[in-house]
Amino acid sequence: MNPLRNGLVEDRTGDACAVVIFGASGDLTKRKLVPAFYNLGVSRSLPSGFAIVGVARREKTHEQFRAEMKEGVSTFSRRKPIDPAFWSDFERGITYVAGTFDAQKTYEDLRLHLDQLDRDRGTAKNRLFYLAVPPSEFGQIVAGLKSAGLVQPPNVHREGGAWTRVVVEKPFGHDLASAQVLNDTIASTFDESQVFRIDHYLGKETVQNLLVFRFANSLFEPIWHREHVDHVQITVAEDIGVEGRGKFYEQIGVTKDIVENHLMQLLCLTAMEPPISLAADAVRDEKVKVLRSLRPMERSLVQENVIRGQYDRGAVRGDEVPAYREEPDVARDSRVETFVAMRVFVDNWRWGGVPFYVRAGKRLARRVTEIAVQFKRVPHGLFRAPDGGITQNVLAMRIQPDEGIALRFTTKEPGQHTVLRDVAMDFRYGAAFGSNTPEAYERLLLDSMRGEATLFTRRDEVEEQWAYIDRVFDAWRAEANAPPPLYAAGSWGPEQADDLVARDGRRWRKP
């Protein structure tokens, strides 16, 4: 009898299923995935038939794996302290299968184990396979699942049978060619409707609210185009360095780590047209249209519109920090970028001529992710402001860490004289709804269990993103001997990034 069967019912519960995590010994499982499932269980969002199966090379018992996961939940869950009574029931559904990913025996053992869980836990033969492994492991895992008969075609589910889905973590390739190879590898076993490519940014509450904000309010959508918008700024800033991931960052850099996926998705959601419905493909169709409307980054345009940088020594929150080239596992003459700023144009009817200034970086002044829509100035200045002009209206959507939406506008100070002041109407999620809001992985995992793909990237999205970014790298490779300019840790990036927007008579916001 499944002890989770009683009382765990809500409108948004997922289907009964077994979640199989390949690479379960890694940090992602302990820090994000199992804490997210625990939080879903506490909030009564898990189905009555539910189980987690960890698969990894290391030999360990079910009890050892459960103890590791309990430590992870105790440390990383947003719900503290851990609920002993609930955990006692929850952990009974956590099991472990040891084996190498290139051995067929691993998949045969897994199939027998899942059959037993169907009987014991009521998981209804539904399978969610989570590939928390490097992309180099994808091929042998999907081949092993297929040969063991663990993958059902989508028509079986459409006809009332069990479903099979696979969740894939980024990085999804390192360029267009590698992304296409990975897509082909997964497509050899799974239909596209069964593939959920996860980008945790899309699970953040403010990102989800961007669609609601735009398409559920008549106030904003009519002015969300070139007639009223001067420009858009998107910032994804981190104050941390590479945090011991020097070897990883030497291979990938900030453009592949953040710009190609997180930042491009934020741009799509900001610039997309209203979809015909909220069906997953209707929303993703509009995002793909944005990507196909981006002005191609030819080599000469990259030189004009893209600035890269690398952090030098500096101070962050009062602490002295080393330069990127002084980090462990980083080459002393490294040319890897830790900062990038771009001027991007969406060449369509809505956005023609409106620049999108986007930037992402490590060791910047503070951690913040923000979308700022700056509106045009009034056509005729009736009032005089102290600085000689009226501040432009700005709508800023803060994705993290202080989630919310702020609208800045001009008003008059009380008194006998007309003195103008820039003020803000500020909505904060924490103040309005409480601070203990669900984390991104909770929403995305629940959606994958429900088969709701809206917040996951489709194959053509991934390939269009890489096709755009590859042109930037082509230009950089032609300048292989030119190191990126340095910027002080704790600053907002190199001076050249300021010049990028200053040439247009604009300046970066200080979020």
pLDDT exceeds cutoff 60 at 6: no
Interval 43-71: pLDDT, tens: 999 998 999 999 999 999 999 999 999 99
Interval 70-98: pLDDT, tens: 999 999 999 989 999 999 999 999 999 99
Interval 355-412: pLDDT, tens: 999 999 999 999 999 999 999 987 766 666 655 556 789 999 999 888 889 998 877 7
pLDDT-based confidence at residue 453 (cuts at 50, 70, 90): very high
pLDDT at 14: 78
Residues 211, 214, 215, 216, CA torsion sign: positive
pLDDT-based confidence at residue 10 (cuts at 50, 70, 90): very low
Domains parsed from the chain with CATH numbers: 3-201 (3.40.50.720), 204-437+458-502 (3.30.360.10)
Please give the average per-residue pLDDT across 115-142, as a whole number: 95
Please give the average per-residue pLDDT across 193-203, as a whole number: 92
Interval 149-180: pLDDT, tens: 999 999 888 888 899 999 998 878 899 999 99
CA distance 155 to 242: 44
pLDDT exceeds cutoff 70 at 8: no
If you search the block for the tokens 């890897």, which residue do you land on? Answer: 336
Please give the average per-residue pLDDT across 304-317, as a whole number: 95
CA distance 151 to 165: 8
Interval 314-351: pLDDT, tens: 999 889 999 999 999 999 999 999 999 999 999 999 99
Percent over 70 (pLDDT), the chain: 94
- What is the torsion angle, in degrees rounded to the nearest 10, for the CA atoms of residue 217, residue 218, residue 224 and residue 226? 180
Residues 6+ positions from 480 with CB-CB distance below 8 Å: 335
pLDDT at 4: 39
The catalytic site residues sit at 262
**Token reading at 168:** 């894939």
Stated length of the chain: 511
pLDDT at 1: 36
Residues 6+ positions from 415 with CB-CB distance below 8 Å: none
Q: What are phi and psi of 500, to 5 degrees?
A: -55, -45
pLDDT exceeds cutoff 80 at 426: yes
Average pLDDT, the chain: 90
Interval 213-243: pLDDT, tens: 899 999 888 899 999 999 999 999 999 999 8
pLDDT-based confidence at residue 428 (cuts at 50, 70, 90): confident
Centre a 10 Å sphere on the Cβ of residue 511 and count the other Cβ atoms it contains: 18
More confident residue, 419 or 407: 407
Comparing 75-89, 254-268, 416-430, the range with the smallest average pLDDT is 416-430
If you search the block for the tokens 């590479």, which residue do you land on? Answer: 242
Contact 342, 361 (CB under 8 A): no
pLDDT at 197: 96
pLDDT exceeds cutoff 80 at 265: yes
The SS3 call for residue 371 is strand
